[in-house]
Amino acid sequence: MSDSTPTVGSPADLARALDATGYLADDGVAMAAFLAIRMGRPLFCEGEPGTGKTSLAAALSEAFGLPLIRLQCHEGIDAAQALYDWDFPRQLLHLRTLEAASDGSLEADTVERSLYTERFLLARPLLRALTDAPCVLLVDEIDRADDEFEAFLLQVLDENAVTIPELGEVRAATPPLVVLTSNRTREVHDALKRRCLYHWLEHPDLAREVAILRRRIPGIGAELARQVAHAVQSLREMELLKPPGVAESLDWARALQELDRDVLDAETAAATLGAVLKYREDLERVARAGLDRLLAG
């Protein structure tokens, strides 16, 4: 690894570095991220939405003082959207300027070469990760991209380099620290997984979720944090369309803070449930089950 590559002595050291950013990593996350850093391999994080996959990349970026470059995958994403594109409006303006200034005396080859320079290159996340490294590259929700994009990404991750026909090869001086996430809406191909270290993230248990709430929301009382975490854990055991993640748990606790509540009772829960549930069917299901029952314990 180059001198610019992030270094860390042990999983425990990494856990402490992440803790300093507000990300409470369990032993499994700390070990997986530590090995990814030490081995120079991408880290493939899979799990339900809201389990802290994306936040891990942000926390690694902050812990090591590296820029975070995010590639948000979606259906239909292609290489041009991920890698680079040419700024055609500016190229056209440049071309018209040349024509006006030269009275048509410029050679076509000279004009063409002047159009394909870094001046008119629009670097997308993957190219920026290669040129700006060391950095943390977050490839978010790779399961939403199609097979062709996976194959393209595989090549980039293998070589840490791309070739731009008009400019030549662009190679990262230091490989970026890559975190890929998937909500497992479909299976990612084994070829991509083989290039990565894999870790499945679960929702935090009650004690860890209480700790996260108290760490991320200054001033929240111990009892309110416990009640919110307990209620969210109970919601996750119900058959909901969208079980709440940690982000919703934090939103709910912040909403209660804004209302100056020190405890979570059934009336307040009913009034603020929209902070944690995002589907009408889920709200109705929880109401039928009874909020008193949800808060019991």
- Residue reference for tokens 């032993």: 27
- Statement to judge: residues 70 and 182 lie in one domain: yes
33 plus 147 within the same structural domain: yes
What total number of domains does the chain contain? 2
The reply to whether 156 and 222 lie within a common domain is no
**Mean pLDDT on 81-106:** 86
Report phi then psi at 45, rounded to 5: -105, 125
User: Distance between terminal CA atoms of the chain?
Assistant: 51
CA distance 296 to 294: 6
Residue 211: domain span: 206-295
Q: What is the pTM of this model?
A: 0.86
Q: Answer yes or no: is 277 within a domain.
A: yes
CATH code, domain with 59: 3.40.50.300
Q: Which two tokens stand for residue 182?
A: 């998937």
The answer to whether the CB of 142 falls within 8 A of the CB of 181 is yes
pLDDT, the chain, mean: 91
| HSE value, Cβ hemisphere, 13 Å, CA-based, for 152 | 19
Q: Which of 154, 173, 201 is the last residue of a domain?
A: 201
Q: Are 184 and 223 part of one and the same domain?
A: no
Residues 108-128 have a mean pLDDT of: 89
Pair (31, 148) in one structural domain: yes
- Please check whether residues 169 and 274 belong to one and the same domain: no
> Would you give the distance in Å from CA 234 to the centre of its chain?
26
Q: Which of 201, 226, 243 is where one domain is finished? A: 201
Q: What is the CA radius of gyration of the chain?
A: 24
Q: Are residues 211 and 196 in the same domain?
A: no
Looking at the fold, whether 285 and 160 belong to one and the same domain comes out as no
Among candidate residues 146, 234, 225, 220, the one with its CA nearest the CA of residue 185: 146
Is there a single domain that holds both residue 184 and residue 262? no
Per-residue 3-state assignment (H helix, E strand, C coil) for the chain: CCCCCCCCCCHHHHHHHHHHCCCCCCHHHHHHHHHHHHHCCCEEEEECCCCCHHHHHHHHHHHHCCCEEEEECCCCCCHHHHCEEECHHHHHHHHHHHHHHHCCCCCHHHHHHHHCCHHHEEECHHHHHHHHCCCEEEEECHHHCCHHHHHHHHHHHHHCEEEECCCEEEECCCCCEEEEEECCCCCCCHHHHHCCEEEEECCCCHHHHHHHHHHHCCCCCHHHHHHHHHHHHHHHCCCCCCCCCHHHHHHHHHHHHHCCCCCCCHHHHHHHHHHCCCCHHHHHHHHHHCHHHHHCC
| Residue 5: predicted pLDDT | 65
Residue 146, domain member (yes or no): yes
Please report, as a single letter, which amino acid is at residue 147: D
Answer for the pair 193, 154: CB distance below 8 angstroms, yes or no: no
Average pLDDT (224-237) is 95
Residue 27 lies in a domain: yes
Q: Cα separation of 274 and 191, whole Å?
A: 41
Asked whether residue 67 is domain-assigned, the answer is: yes
| Domain assignment of residue 261, yes or no | yes
- Last residue within a domain, chosen from 168, 201, 234: 201
Given a cut of 90, is residue 102 above it in pLDDT?
Answer: no
Task: Please check whether residue 111 lies inside any domain of the structure.
Answer: no
What mean pLDDT do residues 174-196 have? 93
Are 173 and 289 in the same domain?
no
Residues 44 and 23 in one domain: yes
Average of pLDDT values for 147-159? 89
45 inside domain: yes
pLDDT digit string (tens) for 1-59? 444 667 899 999 999 999 999 999 999 999 999 999 999 999 999 998 889 999 999 99
* Rounded mean pLDDT, 235-258: 94
pLDDT bucket at 295, cuts 50 / 70 / 90: confident
297: confidence class by pLDDT, cuts 50, 70, 90: low
Listed in sequence order, the residues at least 6 apart from 81 whose beta carbon sits closer than 8 Å to its beta carbon are: 124
Residue 109 in any domain: the answer is no
CA 282/CA 285 separation, integer angstroms: 5
pLDDT one-digit tens code per residue, 119-142: 999 999 999 999 998 999 999 999
Kindly state whether residues 136 and 183 are assigned to the same domain.
yes
Residue tagged 């083989």 (tokens): 194
